[in-house]
Amino acid sequence: AQSVAQPEDQVNVAEGNPLTVKCTYSVSGNPYLFWYVQYPNRGLQFLLKYITGDNLVKGSYGFEAEFNKSQTSFHLKKPSALVSDSALYFCAVRDGGNYGQNFVFGPGTRLSVLP
Amino acid sequence: NAGVMQNPRHLVRRRGQEARLRCSPMKGHSHVYWYRQLPEEGLKFMVYLQKENIIDESGMPKERFSAEFPKEGPSILRIQQVVRGDSAAYFCASSLERTGEAFFGQGTRLTVV
């Protein structure tokens, strides 16, 4: 069975500094990896995905993520954080080798960007 | 192209009543997923459907809960005889294909009084 871990419940960073939100995964087949952001009382918004190809994936709002197969990680990064990036971030994985598998989400990491 | 539409946005039910949550996926999407979220918590998978088929319902309670995605019309998540513990936000998502990202609706916030 697949699983996702987000080891930090909360990440605080000063505006203008780089940010990293960590994600590690476990899946038996090929991992399909995703990052989503959730603002208060809203649904999840898709940020980026890794299916195959380059390990560095660029997404919306200046976010990027690096797929590391040996470390089974898919950390979300941004070179310069904005106060408006403050939100709840979810990492998700899907087993590409198993047709019936759905998206499994991590517990979420709350990002606070301080002015 | 409209996004994933969920209705109602807010639903209040008394204990013992039925709650019916609707989800219209994005145009052309045949994969639908339902998740439940409690305040300040993550998303708990409930059910994965493809047109007229339930692919995975391992996250859905065996009693009182059911889901369908008919050939025509929206996907429906039905909760019979609701209890206070059913109060949560229920999110629907859809994807075009298995390798694609899922797009989420705004959710239905169910309150059982």
pLDDT over 80 (residue A98): no
Residue of B nearest to A35 (CA): B101
Residues in chain B within 8 Å Cβ distance of A96: 98-99
Residue from the list A43, A49, A92 with its beta carbon closest to the beta carbon of B106: A43
Residue B39, chain A, CB below 8 Å: the answer is no
Interface touch A107/B41, C-beta < 8 Å: yes
Chain B touched by A28 (CB under 8 Å):
no
pLDDT at position A29 is 84
Q: Do A105 and B99 touch (CB under 8 A)?
A: no
Instruction: Name B45's Cβ contacts closer than 8 Å, sequence gap at least 6.
Output: A102, A103, A104, A105, B33, B35, B58, B59
The string of pLDDT tens digits covering residues B54-112 is 999 999 999 999 999 998 899 999 999 999 999 999 999 999 876 678 999 999 999 99
- Closest CB from A34, A45, A102 relative to B48: A102
pLDDT band, residue A100 (cuts 50/70/90): low
pLDDT digits (tens, 9 = 90+) for B35-60: 999 877 788 999 999 988 999 999 99
Q: Mind listing the pLDDT tens digit for each residue in A32-50? A: 999 999 998 888 999 999 9
**Could you read off the pLDDT of A4-35 as tens digits, one per residue?**
999 999 999 999 999 999 999 998 888 999 99
CA distances from A6 to A25, A33, A88 (A): 9, 13, 12
Pick B51 or A76 by higher pLDDT: A76
Q: Give residue A57's pLDDT.
A: 96
Is B98 in contact with A99 (Cβ distance < 8 A)? yes
CA angle B60, B63, B69 (to 5 degrees): 50
Average pLDDT of the residues in B2-15: 95
Cis upstream peptide for A79 (omega within 30°) = no
Distances from the Cα of A92 to the Cαs of A47, B11, B54, B61, in angstroms? Answer: 11, 28, 21, 22
pLDDT above 70 covers a percentage of chain B that reads 97
